[in-house]
Structure formats: structure tokens, C-alpha cells
Amino acid sequence: MITVVGSINMDLVVKTDNFPKQGETTLGTLYTTVPGGKGANQAVAAARLGSAVQMIGAVGQDAFGTELLAGLKNEGVLIDQVKRTDGTSGIANILLSEGDNRIIVVPGANHSVTTEEIDALADQLVKSELVIMQLEMPISVVQRTLEICHQNGVPSILNPAPASGFTTEMLPFCTYLTPNETEAEEIFGENWEKALEEFSNRLVVTLGQKGAQFYDGEKHVLVEGFPANVVDTTGAGDTFNGALATALVEEKEFEWAVRFANAAASLSVEKFGAQGGMPERTAVLERMAGDRI
């Protein structure tokens, strides 16, 4: 069982031909709402690839909350440990243009989760094969979750997004750290490749269409990405993390796990919505051109 401790949002998506400049008003070409939140996205990605997944988080007592829980349940994600709180569910305002995105997140119910609640769910964490976290939850909750996993030998993936919430105190406790290139630079500085050498087979930096890079203890390894017909990049990183978790739980060799995650992420950008393009296992294996699990 993979446990995801993380955010659950409704994405409010607007497409436009050009991003507005400061003070400028532009016309949009589409508006829609789709389920999102980095935690929920990663849970759905892992579930579609065949993993058993449970979610720990919170939604509001609003229509979005009801819809978000129904969506997770429909994907096969266990939602028994998702609480409902007074107030609104988290939302993400996503602006799309020319295959790129700009995102503003309003945490809402996601920030109602407490360390005391995490302590009460420690048995759920300890029984997990792997725990995934991001930084759209209160930082104290992430830190406490990491500590429980570390103390009990449970592997964890920390996806440090947004990186502004990352603290160096988290590093000794997470098994794997998965920033993108921008986040890696914010955490480790311009010479983030040196950090790969310090955290061999633990730190993997995603590089968009170029793939992902890590250090295997002897050399730097660039695992190349896969060509994709990009429609919407929202959720690509979340797909990568869900797929990486799936492969690691199945005890795959690390480089193969990263390649599997690259393939899944490349497929995810070919459809609209953070979760809309998340692939099933068969499609990922086909893109990997004959590799087998």
C-alpha cells in the first residue's frame, strides 16, 4: 500500500492565447474545473498504474469537497482518512497558454491537517510500503510524517513543491527527494548537480522533456525523456512521482524506475487536465518500447 499525505484541490482552469502582462486583461478561450492538488494527483497516478493507494488529507464541506472525494473513490484510492472540515476545499487557479502553465494555489482545507492528526494515523503510515508527500500541506505536518516514516523504516518520497516551503531539516528523514530543476536550484543553488553526488540514488531531479538526472554512486545518470505531443503540462511532475513510487514499491532497479516515471509523465502531458492524461500501465510499457514489469 502506498500512502499519500498531501493536498486535494479543485483546479479552476483557464486557457488563453497569451498570458496577460501585469495590469493587462486578455480574453480566455476555455474555462473548466478538474480535480487536482499535488497529493491527489500523485495518488491517482499511482492507482492508475496498478498500486494500492490510500489518501490522507482534508477537503471542505462544500460542493468541491464532495466532488473531489467521489473522484478519488472512483479511481480506486482509499479515502477513509480524508477528513471534511468547515470552510472551503483547496483550489488551484491554473492559467494555460501555449503548452505552459502558471498556477496560484489557495490551500483551504488542506491547511487544517495537524500534527496531532498525523500522530493518530501513525499506524497507517507504519503499515505502508511507501509514503509520498509534497509541500502544499502545513510544513509541520510534512516534517512529522517524515519523522514517523524514518523512525519506523518506511520509505518516503518528498516532492518539494512548492520549494519555498522546504527546510534542510527534512533532508535526513526523506528516503527520496524529487525536485524539478527550478526547485533543485532553489534548494541547493546553481550547482545542484553536486548535491546529486551527496545523495546518490536518493535525489532525482526532473528536467521536463529532457528526462531526469541522478547520481548512482559512481557517475551521473541522465535518464532521457520521451517525445510527447504536449497539450497540458499540468500534473506531469505528479505523474512522475506516482509512477516512481509504483516502481519502487515493486522493487525495481532505480534507473528503470526513473525511466518508467519519465514514460508515464510524457504520456500525461498529451491530454488536458492534471489527472486527465495520467496513463495506465499498458500505455507506459508500450511507450517504453518493450520493457516489461
**Residue 136 known to bind ligand:** yes
| Burial label, 163 (beta-carbon count in 10 A; 0-12, 13-18, 19+) | middle
| 216 classed as catalytic | no
Cell of 130: 511507501
**Residue 127 known to bind ligand:** no
H or E element that contains 257: helix 254-268
**Residue 208 known to bind ligand:** yes
**Residue 73 known to bind ligand:** no
**Residue 238 known to bind ligand:** yes
**Residue 119 known to bind ligand:** no
* DSSP code, position 168: G
Determine which one of 80, 123, 216, 238 is catalytic.
Answer: 238
Distances (CA, A) of 259 to 120, 166, 209, 248: 36, 26, 12, 12
**Residue 9 known to bind ligand:** yes
**Residue 261 known to bind ligand:** no
CB atoms within 10 A of CB 253: 9
CA distance 264 to 237: 10
**Residue 273 known to bind ligand:** yes
**Residue 72 known to bind ligand:** no
Q: Which amino acid is at 92?
A: A
Residue bearing cell 527534512 = 170
Distances (CA, A) of 179 to 1, 29, 223: 23, 32, 15
Contact at 8 Å (CB) between 133 and 5? yes
**Residue 237 known to bind ligand:** yes
**Residue 101 known to bind ligand:** no
Cell of 81: 482518512
**Residue 38 known to bind ligand:** yes
Phi, psi of 235 (to 5 degrees): 90, 0
Nearest-Å Rg of the Cα atoms of the chain is: 18
Residues making up the annotated binding site for substrate are 9-11, 37-41, 136, 238
Which active-site residues does the annotation give? 238
Residues placed in the known binding site for K(+): 232, 234, 268, 271, 273
Binding residues for ATP: 180, 206-211, 237-238, 262
- Please give the annotated binding residues, written as ranges: 9-11, 37-41, 136, 180, 206-211, 232, 234, 237-238, 262, 268, 271, 273
